[in-house]
Amino acid sequence: MPRREDLDLDHQSSFISLSSCLQRSIEFIFDSKASSISCLPTMVDAIVSFVVQKLGDYLIQEAIFLKEVRNEVESLKNTLGWMQCFVKDAEEKQDDNPLIRGSSGISGKGSKSKFFASIKAGCGLFHKGKEKVKLYSIGEEIAALRKRLDDSARNRELFCLQDINYNKREAAAENSKAHQKLKQLRRSASFYAVEENVVGFEDDANKLLAHLLKEDPRRSVISIFGMGGLGKTTLARKLYHHNDVKHKFACCAWVSVSQEYRTEDLLMRIINSFNIDSPSNLEKMREEDLERCLYQSLQGYSYLVVIDDVWQKETWESLKRAFPDSKNGSRVILTTRIREVAERSDERTHAYELPFLRPDESWKLFCEKAFQSFNADEGLEKLGREMLEKCGGLPLAIVVLGGLLSKKKPQEWRIVRDHIWRHLRADSIQISHLLDLSFNDLSYQLKLCFLYLGIFPEDADINIERLIRLIVAEGFIDQNEDDQVMEDVAKDILNELINRSLIQIGKISWGRIATCRVHDLLRDLAIQKAKELNFFHICAQANRQTRPLLVSSCRRQAAYSGYFWSQDDNNLLSRSLLHFNYEREYIFQVERDLRWLFTSFSLLRVYDAEVVNRFRTGIFSEFPLPVEIGQLIHLKYLRLRNSPIDNLPPSIEKLQRLQTLDLSDTLCGIPTEISKLTELRHLIGNFSGYLPIENLTNLRTLKYVSVESWNRLSPDKLINLRELHIEDKEWTREKVLFTFNSIAKLKSLQILSIKLSGERSFDLLQPLCDCPCLSDLRLRGKIEKLPEDIHVILPNLECLSLEDSNLDDDPMPELEKMSNLVILDLSYDSYSGKKLFCTAKGFPRLEILQLLVDELEEWQVEEGAMPRLRGLRIREHLKSRIPERLRSIPPPAEGECEET
């Protein structure tokens, strides 16, 4: 084999990354402290999946440098693929086959597997360090590794794998069924109710509602307490969203506390939740200034604030000074697990201990979760009631058990029952075991995504789109045989976790899940498993004097504090860094931190930071993204929200693997070199000027781009663009038409939002008929008249928002023909007339209607119109003039018709 000289820096770093990954993956198998038989196969499978994918990448991308060893690398890739099959098969057989449990060593308790030992030894040779990697030695090392793998392959019978390829047709059929089921699930999950059905709590809600609404003018506190998983937050939300509560209080706010918090952060979040007109320098205020701002804003108003998940009685003490008692019936709701906190938080406290569900309530909740795909017969009901009895009326245990059984065939229920029986204590099942059982029942991809949720802070509202992009970048999602888009696969997985009640729906926006959250007990489970597997490490600090520290052996790190990792930290193995509430006193510190990070973590694949503006320099300055970003050649995901970045450097062209560039809430210029990032899928920020993105054929998300920038684009090649947001950056008095001709070229477009300003207006909507996938359309700007055949032009539209449209004619005759319309928002100045009329058969699928036109005086609705309407927001003066059946419909949930 020819002895080629050293690889150049980029290829050397790439190969070091691959060999390091192999080395660390095998070390993980033996060094992990995990004892769970189901977790290790999961993690090994994920790691092997990543390595197989990487080897495929190198065969393609590094073909010139690897031409002498290409065959060896390709053979190694195939063998590792076989190893992946072994791991999946072992996971399926581990409970029933003692040979798998004992001989393979996967459990962490048995002898070291000869199979894995071979891999470990081979990978030890494969890793050559930082200085030099030579092709001739690489070829020899791969050959040695191949020999060891071949030796292990001859022993497949020891691992009960002789029949692994016998039933390919049956497996393919099952996979096809599963894929169709997931596709059906995604269609059915397109729109959700405002809240999950709340079972039980009727008596509790009525009792507490009386305290909330009673005429006592003094401010008082209602404390709901009970063990974790009992439903305290659910009950508080039920009260918070009650129609009578919304009518009584002038303003409402919700904030979650958790065990670690800072009072000034709480105050800031409460102010934002109240939607108070706060000063522009809110982030720079100290605690006393925030107290004063909140106090003055609430003075004279009746308010309700929910403070969820309180762990210390001092929490309310530190906040109460900011809440005036104007003798107008204001109320505070606290939820806590601790009786003392509930009873002693305030001198005027009504403490309420939440009881367990009654048997009838438990059965109703169980049935809603367990019988999603089939009906209960007598035998299943008997088994279900036996298992349900052991849940003791704890709602979290019930929904998790129901979610587990909903994915089981009827004949498998008895196996679950017997498994529970083996782990009973004091005649009731322990919630920790039930959560373990539900976790172990997940597929390896579901496990990876569930574990990853534990990296987010406690009680966090996790943005779904952000989460999807993260787990794709992390390599948790396989490209399936049907060429399904990876983001769609990730969405299917999250929907599956929601259906299993392992994660909860947070906010709904435009008919889609916008955020999700994880119950504290389930998050604790994810963190516990992650710690056992060294899956991620959380750098948290108890006080401001200590700083977070990296764990050198962990590939994923998260920091919750306002501090940055020190330059003393040296962790070349880190692949993912997530920084929540990244805070610096001075702008130059941010630039210094980023420059150090980009030069110190050369193997980084994911970097996510939310910048908190606490710059006290008096003058807010910005800086270009450091040129050192070009050293992160493996980077797939970069998110710098609310950052002081004003420009991207040309060196960004080196990020050839970048999939997501998220500069949310950042006004930023883009260099021409971005046109070389052909793998880019999501480009987010506030962009103006020339955008050289015409050749980015993989682009799926583009927001927010100015009208001028879009008009200069030629979007013919953006064939995969799904979501597009266009916004005017400046007010204009020029009468300019925005045409949809360029939009018509986007055949995959699903979501389109265009916001014009000044004298701009929209041209004819007819070109949108060439966008067959368009389901969500939001327009701000003048439209003189809606086309009479809008239901033909936009046959699949599910969401429509119009603002500043200034329509002269009643739009209802056209809009009510849109048979798939689910959400309609006729916002400010959308219609200049005084009368609207809806016929009996109009809007057959409409669920949400927001009617906020200023001049409207009369709205006639025939019987039978809008039969599915569940959310209605209209002007106050119209409420007495609409049919009785419409008056009882509550307004849409907060944020349901707003962008998140």
Highest mean pLDDT among 321-325, 439-443, 544-548, 735-739: 321-325
Token pair belonging to 628: 């050192």
Contact 567, 596 (CB under 8 A): yes
The fold of 359-409+436-479+487-531 is Arc Repressor Mutant, subunit A (1.10.10)
Chain segment 810-829, per-residue pLDDT in tens: 999 999 999 999 999 999 89
- CB within 8 A of 96, min separation 6: which ones? none
Contact 418, 508 (CB under 8 A): no
- The pTM of the whole model exceeds 0.85: no
Domain ranges in the chain are: 39-89, 202-353, 359-409+436-479+487-531
d(CA 231, CA 253): 19
Q: Which of 501-510, 551-560, 866-875 has the lowest mean pLDDT?
A: 551-560
> How does residue 543 score in pLDDT terms, banded at 50, 70 and 90?
very low
Residue 865 identity (one-letter amino acid): A
- Check residue 173 and give its pLDDT: 46
Core vs surface per residue 86-108: b (16+ CB within 10 A) or e: bbbbbbebbeebeebbebbbbbb
Residue 185 identity (one-letter amino acid): L
- Check residue 346 and give its pLDDT: 81
Give me the mean pLDDT over the 373-385 stretch.
Answer: 81
> How does residue 345 score in pLDDT terms, banded at 50, 70 and 90?
confident
Reply yes or no: is the peptide bond before residue 607 cis, omega within 30 of 0: no
Greater pLDDT, 233 or 90: 233
- Check residue 168 and give its pLDDT: 40
Alpha helix positions (H), 32-105: 39-61, 70-93, 98-103
> How does residue 409 score in pLDDT terms, banded at 50, 70 and 90?
confident
Tell me the backbone φ, ψ of residue 558, rounded to 5 degrees: -135, 140
Whether 93 shows a pLDDT value over 60: the answer reads no
- Check residue 459 and give its pLDDT: 87
Whether 605 shows a pLDDT value over 80: the answer reads yes
Give me the mean pLDDT over the 767-776 stretch.
Answer: 96
Whether 281 shows a pLDDT value over 80: the answer reads no
How far are the Cα atoms of 7, 566, 600, 652, 678 from residue 631, in angstroms, in the given order? 16, 20, 9, 9, 18
Contact 511, 798 (CB under 8 A): yes
Whether 7 shows a pLDDT value over 50: the answer reads no
Give me the mean pLDDT over the 96-103 stretch.
Answer: 44
> Which of 732, 795, 809 is CA-nearest to residue 765?
795
Superfamily of domain 202-353 in the CATH hierarchy: P-loop containing nucleotide triphosphate hydrolases (3.40.50.300)
> How does residue 426 score in pLDDT terms, banded at 50, 70 and 90?
low
Greater pLDDT, 372 or 799: 799
d(CA 650, CA 640): 18
Give me the mean pLDDT over the 143-157 stretch.
Answer: 57
Whether 188 shows a pLDDT value over 60: the answer reads no
- Check residue 474 and give its pLDDT: 94
> How does residue 88 score in pLDDT terms, banded at 50, 70 and 90?
low
- Check residue 567 and give its pLDDT: 60
342 CB burial (10 A radius; 0-12, 13-18, 19+): buried
Greater pLDDT, 65 or 226: 226
> How does residue 94 score in pLDDT terms, banded at 50, 70 and 90?
very low
Contact 783, 762 (CB under 8 A): yes
Whether 123 shows a pLDDT value over 50: the answer reads no
Q: Which of 169-178, 501-510, 722-731, 817-826 has the lowest mean pLDDT?
A: 169-178
- Check residue 335 and give its pLDDT: 94
Chain segment 642-700, per-residue pLDDT in tens: 888 888 999 999 999 999 999 998 888 899 999 999 999 999 999 888 899 999 999 99
Token pair belonging to 355: 């009881």
In angstroms and rounded to an integer, the radius of gyration of the C-alpha atoms of the chain is: 29
Whether 408 shows a pLDDT value over 50: the answer reads yes
Give me the mean pLDDT over the 168-196 stretch.
Answer: 42
Chain segment 361-377, per-residue pLDDT in tens: 999 999 988 887 667 77
Whether 160 shows a pLDDT value over 80: the answer reads no
Whether 713 shows a pLDDT value over 50: the answer reads yes
- Check residue 70 and give its pLDDT: 59
- Check residue 74 and give its pLDDT: 63
- Check residue 632 and give its pLDDT: 94
Greater pLDDT, 424 or 5: 424
Give me the mean pLDDT over the 538-565 stretch.
Answer: 68
Highest mean pLDDT among 362-366, 378-382, 467-471: 467-471
Q: What percent of the chain has pLDDT over 90?
A: 39
- CB within 8 A of 880, min separation 6: which ones? none
